[in-house]
Chain A
């Protein structure tokens, strides 16, 4: 990578061919060469290549994400109210709260949420 060099070259690319631009129509800046995807070499060396998850392992990984998010919002008690979901930005749970709260308890646990997702067709374990 050669930061800055490319941008200078591009700035000049059409200077002669295209005079008199409209008001403030400045040339766009390019600060590094376009190389997507790319990671800095030192980071590429740190990568760990484990067997990629699929099947049951992937479903467990999904569940871990959903559970972590739920429990962070619910706090130590593990139960979430509609207001708690809303305050945590969990609009999906807020919107579907009545369906998740099948026992009409006003608060739901992760198991309730998980059951709701499964009933809708989610591929969870």
Chain B
């Protein structure tokens, strides 16, 4: 049983202390595959803090190293897991800025120069990478059963048939103040709690990882989720400028322009146009849209919903916001048909916000925000979190991550892993002169410096946090010259938790890497 497996404690042997000049992975950038390093567990005595004013006195670059094998698609992948810290250094000056906690999975026997390396991180801001780490394309994953809510808890940890490790080495890295990542004095965690400072220190982590592990020649990819896509946009520009060429960037449930999402700005100034097709997708899932499309007809149904949103809802919503104009009765009727929400409700709540939709679509039920297919009876949140698709899975991730690090990866630490810090409450969201970030220009700047760059965008149709049509409209601003692929799936914000969507997305991911590599 996986639960038993997770309990298997590795002997504490010794710490792998990286030489200051690098060499942690011991791999050669251009030579043949190096032998994997020796297994070593690490009892890290440092207590890490997520507090805004916290900092470490000095950097320590230390990691555990363990060896594993999983069966994927009829073959066995032998890999090395490295869990520990690397120090982000200020460019040029070389002063220590922050100590990043990361877990790297590298395929044994692969020549590093030809082997892609992908950096994964969640968002928040303030979130650790544990969601992607234990939920998406790592070598091990939690069985959540989403969107069902009856999977045994804590979720079982199993070998991941959809791991991306067959395609790329994987580095899961925690933002400063999350996981076991912390600023180094004289900086404090809050020094890096802003759009620009966060992206810059992530750049410096990536450069440190590349340098220490001699991965300069390796094709490099970014994989961010939610606020992590905001970070990826800014980070891709900063990395290109610093001379680190990216092959591809994967945006999972993107929020590129905070100003275009009516749930993030006052609705008196922004129409909720981008949400209308997500309402339709959700209504179709619950069978309350008219018509209820068959699975094969869903793309066409959502195409019609996009047209309704952009050509009819949007201009009327703008007129209503500007001058209090009454919406057209035929439009109201069509909105009611597509979304399953009564015409009277559309009449009284024309610029409908996603939280209102979640509380009112199904009588006596609340639907999820991250995944609107997840429902609970009633409308009273149990613990300050009103999203069942979040609070029903969070305890298992919170339970499993520290256990996994300690008992499978040999990294132990006396302090608790911070799955989510409170950084979001004091985050500096300003960027390029706007109070809330618009990072489409950052992506465009990355493309200007690297026209070969490729972008893959994953959307969940039932995601009411970062609606797919908003993302499509934001990306359309890039014009036709940028290489952008958008893929939508029946699923939520974390569509990789869905057992139907994850294999489809993995297939699309593998094709994207092949194309980015020109093979």
Binding site for B on A (CB under 8 A): 1-3, 5-6, 9-10, 13-14, 17-18, 21-40, 43-50, 52-55, 58-59, 61-62, 65-66, 69, 86-92, 94-95, 117, 120-124
Q: Please tell me if B243 contacts chain A, counting CB pairs below 8 Å.
A: yes
Cβ of B135: which chain A residues have Cβ within 8 Å of it?
none
A22-B7, A31-B50 given; A13·B399 CB < 8 A: yes
The residue from A2, A21, A48 contacting B384, defined by CB atoms under 8 A apart? A2
Taking A10-B398, A37-B466, A39-B258 as given, write out 9 further A-B residue pairs in contact, using a Cβ cutoff of 8 Å, ordered by the A residue number: A2-B383, A17-B154, A24-B414, A28-B398, A28-B402, A29-B421, A34-B420, A52-B440, A90-B241
With a cutoff of 8 Å between Cβ atoms, the chain A residues found around residue B415 in the complex are: 26
Instruction: Scan B376-399; emit 1 where CB is below 8 A from any A CB, else 0.
Output: 000000111111001100110111
Interface secondary structure of A, over-half rule: loop
Q: Are A39 and B403 in contact (CB under 8 A)?
A: no
A91 to chain B, nearest CB (A): 2
With A28-B402, A53-B440: A36-B124 Cβ-Cβ less than 8 Å: yes
Bound complex: CA A58 to CA B153 (Å): 48
Task: Please report which residues of chain B, range 308-357, place their CB below 8 angstroms from some CB of chain A when the two chains form the complex.
Answer: none
Contacts of B264 in A (CB 8 A): 37-39, 44, 47
B197 at the interface (CB under 8 A from A): no
B residues adjacent to A (C-beta < 8 A): 7, 9, 12, 43, 50, 91-92, 122-128, 130, 153-154, 226-227, 230, 237, 240-244, 255, 257-261, 264-266, 269-270, 369, 382-387, 390-391, 394-395, 397-399, 401-403, 405-407, 412-422, 424-425, 429, 432, 434-436, 438, 440-442, 444-445, 447-449, 451, 465-466, 474, 476-479, 481-482
A14-B154, A36-B226, A91-B242 known; A52+B402 contact, CB < 8 A: no
Contact A22 B384 (CB under 8 A): no
Chain A residue at minimal CB-CB distance from B402: A25
Nearest CB of A to B513, in Å? 22
Whether B243 pairs with A92 at a CB distance below 8 angstroms is: yes
How far is A34 from B225 in the complex, measured between Cα atoms in Å? 13
Find the residue from B269, B449, B476, B479 having the highest chain A CB count within 10 A.
B449
**Those 6 A-B pairs whose CB atoms lie nearest each other, nearest first:** A91-B243, A2-B384, A89-B91, A33-B385, A13-B395, A121-B451
In this complex, which of A30, A52, A124 has the most chain B Cβ atoms within 10 angstroms of its Cβ? Answer: A30
Decide if A47 touches B266 in the complex (CB within 8 Å).
Answer: yes
State whether A22 and B447 are in contact (beta carbons under 8 Å apart), knowing that A14-B399, A31-B421 are contacts in the complex. Answer: no
Note all chain B residues with C-beta closer than 8 A to A66.
Answer: 445, 448-449
A-B contact count (CB 8 A): 251
Q: How far is the CA of A45 from the CA of B267 in the complex (A)?
A: 9
CB nearest neighbor in A for B405: A25
A37-B465, A47-B266 known; A65-B445 Cβ under 8 A? yes
- B449 near A117: Cβ-Cβ < 8 Å: yes
On chain A, the residues within 8 Å of B444 by CB distance are: 58-59, 61-62, 123
**Contact across chains for B126 and A9 when beta carbons are under 8 A apart:** no
Task: Report A-chain residues with C-beta under 8 Å of the C-beta of B125.
Answer: 36
Tell which of B12, B240, B259, B478 touches A92, judged by Cβ atoms closer than 8 Å: B240
- A-chain residues with CB within 8 Å of residue B424 when the two chains form the complex: 32, 35-36, 38, 40
Asked if residues B418 and A52 are in contact (CB atoms below 8 Å), the reply is no
Q: Identify B259's interface contact among A49, A62, A120, CB under 8 A.
A: A49
Q: Which of B92, B419, B477 contacts A53 (CB 8 A)?
A: B477
Q: Which A-chain residue is minimally distant from B422 (CB atoms)?
A: A31
Q: Given A27-B399, A37-B227, A90-B241, A58 and B440 touching (CB < 8 A)?
A: yes
Complex Cα distance, B239 from A92, in Å, reads 9
On whether the beta carbons of A9 and B243 are closer than 8 Å, the reply is no
Partner of A62 from the list B413, B416, B445 (CB cut-off 8 Å) is B445
In the complex, what residue of chain A is closest to B420 when comparing beta carbons? A30
A46 to B265, CA, bound (A): 8
A27 and B440 form a contact (CB under 8 A): no
Q: How far is the CB of A117 from chain B (nearest CB, A)?
A: 6
Can you report 23 A-B residue pairs in the complex whose CB atoms are below 8 A from each other?
Answer: A3-B425, A17-B154, A21-B403, A27-B398, A27-B416, A29-B421, A31-B420, A33-B385, A33-B391, A36-B124, A37-B264, A38-B424, A47-B266, A49-B270, A58-B478, A65-B432, A66-B449, A86-B92, A90-B242, A91-B244, A92-B241, A120-B451, A123-B447
